Amino acid sequence: MRERIQNIGLSIRKISEKAGKQDEIVRFDIGQPSFDTPEHVKEAAKKGLENKQGYSPMLGLEELREEIAKEESSKKGLEIDSEEVMVTTGGMGALYSVFSARLETDDKAVFDDPCWGPYKMISEVSENKWTQVQYWDQDRNLRPEAKKEIKEADLLVVNTPGNPTGYVLTEGQAREIAEFADRHDTFLVSDEVYHRLIYDKEHYSPAAYSNNYCIIGSTSKNHAMTGWRAGWVVDKPENIEQYAKVSRASTACPPRISQYAAIEALRNDSHVGEMSEAYRERRDLLVERMEGLGWDFVAPEGAIYAFPEVGEDSWDFCMKMIEEGVAMVPGEPMGPESDQNVRICFGSTTKEEINKAFDILEDELQ
Ligand SMILES: Cc1ncc(COP(=O)(O)O)c(C=O)c1O
């Protein structure tokens, strides 16, 4: 067995295993929507079954590529053609194709601190180097330490809205980081899988300010479709051709049935507004309850997560709170600066559950 594979730690599994054994528990640790896939999307998949169920084209069904191109072009400053789209098995499949196709073993990727853990796991599997550094200071300026790492790296990931923080870049930040990466010839991976889940702000794609980028997208969170595994990557056609080789070697083609569902989700998307309104209400309640506890945090502006600082070791805190009936994810595996933070997913819980969990936390901590 390869050493790099053996060394990949799945430490966060400890949380779900422990939480799964408790009868009464609020699951803030599960990173997926509480909503099920909308009925009209499921119906479109059923209708899709009337077609012959052979392999789909390697880059995805043309109808879906066109819908994705429209969706991406609706972002300010972007004009995307369907030839620039490859459909993948989730955003994860897109990231894996990009990393594997682009990075030699000596090449380095840079991630924000904190970041979504699987970026590191993908790097381990595709065998490139990686590093992590906090990108932004409190005034939303790119930190000198980040500039240094980005300059030296071959690829950087920018994730807005962000997992695990819910942080959303302003137009100035999107421009600053994209232009800086371009100047230093560092390829930009703009992970925008939460771009429809945004509260009080506007989404700005860093890709709009870059000449050397790809965009990662997905139906998973925006449309409550995590299990369908329908995502995509946008890049120049000549790069798509290279990513397609990795995709072919790993999955042959994206699942056909999920593509019929994805076409419908993108075409008739009023469900997104309804779900994000519910998330906004949960976010507001969560912010109020975190303030009540006196925790230090940046209010989430997008996605479905908050990342408060809890003032003690994140593992100790999370393991202890599971026993009291609240499951959260420790920040430690998400970055060296985050070992006193915890990730709370408000996408997977109701307002009643948020209140119940914070009543418990208040009893324990005050
Ligand atoms: C930041 C980020 N990027 C990419 C993904 C991958 O999305 P998918 O479920 O479509 O593979 C996720 C999923 O949690 C995510 O949080």
Q: Tell me how far the alpha carbon of residue 333 lies from the centroid of ligand 1, in angstroms.
A: 16
Burial of 178 (0-12, 13-18, 19+ CB in 10 A): buried
Q: Which atom of ligand 1 is nearest to the CA of 93?
A: 11
**CATH, domain 52-267, list 3.40.640.10, 3.50.50.60, 3.30.470.20, 3.30.360.10:** 3.40.640.10
Place of tokens 């799945």: 10
Per-residue pLDDT of the chain (366 residues; tens, 9 = 90+): 888 888 887 677 888 888 888 889 999 998 889 999 999 999 999 999 999 999 999 999 999 999 999 999 999 999 999 999 999 999 999 999 999 999 999 999 999 999 999 999 999 999 999 999 999 999 999 999 999 999 999 999 999 999 999 999 999 999 999 999 999 999 999 999 999 999 989 999 999 999 999 999 999 999 999 999 999 999 999 999 999 999 999 999 999 999 999 999 999 999 999 999 999 999 999 999 999 999 999 999 999 999 999 999 999 999 999 999 999 999 999 999 999 999 999 999 999 999 999 999 999 987
Q: Are strands 305-306 and 342-345 parallel, antiparallel or unpaired?
A: antiparallel
H/E stretch holding 1 reads none
For 289, 355, 362, the CA distances from 294, given in Å and listed in that order, are: 9, 16, 10
Compute how many other C-beta atoms are within 10 angstroms of the C-beta atom of residue 82.
17
Task: For ligand 1, atom 4, name the residue with the nearest CA.
Answer: 91
Q: Tell me how far the alpha carbon of residue 294 lies from the centroid of ligand 1, in angstroms.
A: 30
Q: Which atom of ligand 1 is nearest to the CA of 94?
A: 11
How does DSSP assign 284-340, residue by residue? HHHHHHHHHHT-B-PPP-BTTEE--B-SS-HHHHHHHHHHHTEE-EESGGG-GGGTT
pTM of the model: 0.97
Structure tokens at 229: 């595994």
Q: Tell me how far the alpha carbon of residue 92 lies from the centroid of ligand 1, in angstroms.
A: 6
- The distance between the two most distant Cα atoms of the chain, rounded to a whole number of Å, is 61
Q: Tell me how far the alpha carbon of residue 65 lies from the centroid of ligand 1, in angstroms.
A: 19
Q: Tell me how far the alpha carbon of residue 365 lies from the centroid of ligand 1, in angstroms.
A: 32
Q: Tell me how far the alpha carbon of residue 91 lies from the centroid of ligand 1, in angstroms.
A: 5
Peptide bond into 237 cis (omega under 30): no
Q: Which atom of ligand 1 is nearest to the CA of 230?
A: 10
**CATH, domain 3-37+271-365, list 3.90.1150.10, 3.30.70.20, 3.90.650.10, 1.10.3720.10:** 3.90.1150.10
Q: Please report, as a single letter, which amino acid is at residue 276.
A: S
Q: Tell me how far the alpha carbon of residue 101 lies from the centroid of ligand 1, in angstroms.
A: 19
Q: Where are the alpha helices (DSSP H) in 38-102?
A: 39-48, 62-73, 90-102
Q: Where in the chain is the domain with CATH 3.90.1150.10?
A: 3-37+271-365
What lines the ligand 1 site, CB under 6 Å? 31, 90-92, 116, 159, 163, 191, 193, 218, 220, 226, 231
Burial of 223 (0-12, 13-18, 19+ CB in 10 A): buried
Q: Which atom of ligand 1 is nearest to the CA of 31?
A: 14
Q: Which atom of ligand 1 is nearest to the CA of 219?
A: 10
Q: Where in the chain is the domain with CATH 3.40.640.10?
A: 52-267
Task: For ligand 1, atom 16, name the residue with the nearest CA.
Answer: 163
User: What does the chain come to in residues?
Assistant: 366
